[in-house]
Chains A and B, each alone.
Chain A
């Protein structure tokens, strides 16, 4: 007993002061990718060709990056002959609409809050049922981490629950395999309305590296109505937390 108390004292206080203070991410952290078209050699399409998920689309005088497809990998950067592509350290990536994730000349429009009715219902207490539908356990792991003392999701009134009947919404990871489709729909139907759906990670948004495979459905879109998209492969825990808090209208100033 005394040893437990001593260990508790030694471990100290470990919850990060998010969102009140700025968080330190590693210097090599790959947040939102940015292309500086002024550096691009004429007609160069190397990044477009290199992107494993075809997330980079050339436009008239710029490029558009689909953050929903982006794996936040280094393939485009490596392929770029002129160093035009950088990853910013900005971890904030979540959006309400699928099209909002297409960025280029347009800046990323970060997720806004739920409409009044659902915000009033869920704003201070949100219970989520998580369903992994072909996820690699990367997104699942970094969702799970929100429940540790570091992020302490409970202090925001957000909690993961076992039964969909106790939930206000679904948090889906994975490209939605054919084999999980039926279970995913059953879980959704079991949640009382009004409800919400959150797609976490490149797979859940657009299929990720499994996009186009006959065995998967290319993500949650087309299967269920999605209220929040959180890009990443996997998204950093802060990206997920930031998205959840924006959805509940608790980060509108940041």
Chain B
């Protein structure tokens, strides 16, 4: 069989929407399944409404070796043959498509809503929910295990701590979890629906708050997409400042995660130190832009805030102080045998499982998969200044924790290098209006992993479709699989080792 000719783009490169090849569905399906088997990653699969042809499915396959993002489309009617049985990484995407567009993937093994909302526009709800009634989140079938002494534990949507909502159902035999099923959607604010016909004055702020702990990540992805579409060249100094902000975001969250993991096993010194140190990294971001989460740091065409000489001195001093303390706090973890014995061999994901599920970010790298957007699809400063990929092999909580510590060290070194080699020049150029009927795919390695935005404009240069894939979208199933055959009391620790986003998933 001849494989389809795809539209191949680099990160944030734009093309005409009409250049995306449309193939018969069977060829589209075969191409995705074969490519993923051969090492491509399914970065996005989504519905795209086309006026005269109904719904198109569109796929973005990413090829780490060549740094290529390849686009392909196929028209579908009310149903199509599900990809999931042959390509488990499509599992969550197909459920999303079914929920948003009322299209049924025939043969999908577990076809349930993922966010609990009525479909876009006038599309039919495939579960037959009454459009006049409020949606009932979490009310659906759950996987059940039957047998003597098998019991279910239901948690959420409101959890014990100061944390976002989600509903978890554990099927347990004694203390052992046989299966965990996760129902999300409680944070659904309708972002993708609102983005259609944008951008407007709210769009930037939706991007900032898409996942508040990943403000810089999603913000950068959005701006890269816009700049790709409008052909705007971002000044090198702005690129460097963006990369610094992205690494500071990683530093704050990775540090916080090490502290939270320590807290979950009752190792209070590191828990307490890292709680404070996470804030020190946030305050470094605030030193540049005034806000701890990097709000308003970035704008299409560059950044709003500069790091002048005098500020840089203070910045670097504070960075070194924070790193010195994080080093002590992190080393304490792996010098304590009680910590290592709790972290090791818990919540294991094998390399094969990680590939099959399509995991991204630290969760995938902890299973030995050397994938990182910063290296595989470099954009901005990462194209010139390389950052090394860190990996671990064991795929357990310990690997995910230690990987964070490795990445903390690399990020600090990277921020230090960039700050000392900040290119001179402006920090912003005007970004022009968006051209009509163009498409761009923008990828960023957020602290949780691969962020993928696909922007498509219409006849007047407004968003015809804007697709957001948060890294958590790929990884929630990973957490569920990691919990199999584990003690239910290890769930908090396993959960923290992934630390996934609810709002980034729910949109």
Which residues of A are in contact with B by a Cβ distance under 8 Å?
3-4, 7-8, 10-11, 14, 26, 28-30, 50-53, 71-75, 78, 87, 130-145, 147-150, 160, 162, 174-175, 177-180, 183, 187, 203, 208-210, 213-216, 233-234, 236
Q: Are B135 and A138 in contact (CB under 8 A)?
A: no
Chain A residues within an 8 Å CB radius of B193: 215
- Name B163's contact: one of A4, A8, A26, A132 (CB within 8 Å): A132
- In the bound assembly, the distance between CA atoms of A230 and B4 in angstroms comes to 55
Q: Which of B160, B213, B269, B279 contacts A8 (CB 8 A)?
A: B269
The verdict on A141 contacting B295 (CB below 8 Å), with A28-B290, A174-B187 known, is no
Q: Which 5 A-B pairs have the closest CB atoms?
A: A138-B212, A136-B212, A28-B290, A215-B190, A148-B275
A139-B276 CB under 8 A given contacts A4-B269, A26-B290, A234-B293: no
A3, A74, A148, A187: the one contacting B332 at CB < 8 Å is A3
| A179 and B202 within 8 A (CB) | no
A137 contacts which of B202, B205, B211 (Cβ < 8 Å)?
B211
Which interface residue of A52, A138, A208, A234 has the most chain B CB atoms within 10 A?
A138
Within the complex, the shortest CB–CB distance from B481 to chain A, in Å, comes to 24
A141 contacts B189, C-beta separation under 8 Å = no
CB-based nearest A residue for B502: A137
Most buried by A among B202, B209, B503: B209
Partner among B202, B206, B279 whose Cβ is within 8 Å of the Cβ of A145: B279
B190 near A179 with CB under 8 A, answer no
Q: How large is the interface on B (under 10, 10 to 19, 20 to 34, 35 or more residues)?
A: 35 or more
> Which A residue sits closest to B290, measured CB to CB?
A28
Question: A140, B163: Cβ atoms under 8 Å?
Answer: yes
A216 touching B503 in the complex, CB below 8 Å, given contacts A11-B273, A132-B165: no
The residue of chain B having its C-beta at the shortest distance from the C-beta of A15 within the complex is B276
- Contact yes or no, B162 A179, CB < 8 A: no
Residues of A within 8 A of B137 (CB): 179-180
Q: Are A233 and B279 in contact (CB under 8 A)?
A: no
CB contacts (< 8 Å) of A210 on chain B: these are 189-190, 194, 206
B171-210: which have CB < 8 Å to A? 185-190, 193-194, 201-202, 204-206, 208-210
Closest residue of A by beta carbon distance from B259: A148
The docked-state distance in angstroms from the alpha carbon of A160 to that of B160 is 9
Distance in angstroms from B475 CB to nearest chain A CB is 16
Q: Is the interface of B mostly helix, strand, loop or mixed?
A: loop
Name the residue of chain B whose CB is nearest to the CB of A8: B269
Q: Give the docked Cα–Cα distance between A145 and B260 (Å).
A: 12
22 A–B pairs (Cβ distance < 8 Å), ordered by A: A7-B332, A10-B325, A10-B328, A11-B273, A11-B328, A26-B283, A29-B286, A50-B201, A52-B204, A131-B165, A134-B187, A137-B501, A148-B279, A149-B275, A160-B161, A162-B161, A178-B134, A179-B185, A179-B187, A203-B209, A209-B205, A209-B209
- Residues of chain B with a CB closer than 8 A to A149's CB: 272, 275-276
Q: Which residues of the partner chain A approach B25 to less than 8 Å between Cβ atoms?
A: none
User: CA–CA, A26 to B292, complex, Å?
Assistant: 10
Least CB separation from B329: chain A residue = A7
- Docked complex Cα distance between A1 and B143 (Å): 45
Q: A73-B205, A213-B189 are in contact. Are A141 and B290 (CB under 8 A)?
A: no
Residues in chain A near residue B502, CB distance under 8 A: 137
Beta-carbon contact of A179 and B116 below 8 Å: yes
Beyond A177-B186, A179-B186, 7 additional pairs, beta carbon < 8 A? A28-B289, A147-B275, A149-B275, A180-B157, A183-B165, A208-B205, A236-B292
Query: Which of B161, B205, B287, B291 makes the CB contact (< 8 A) with A52?
Result: B205
Residues of B within 8 A of A71 (CB): 205, 295
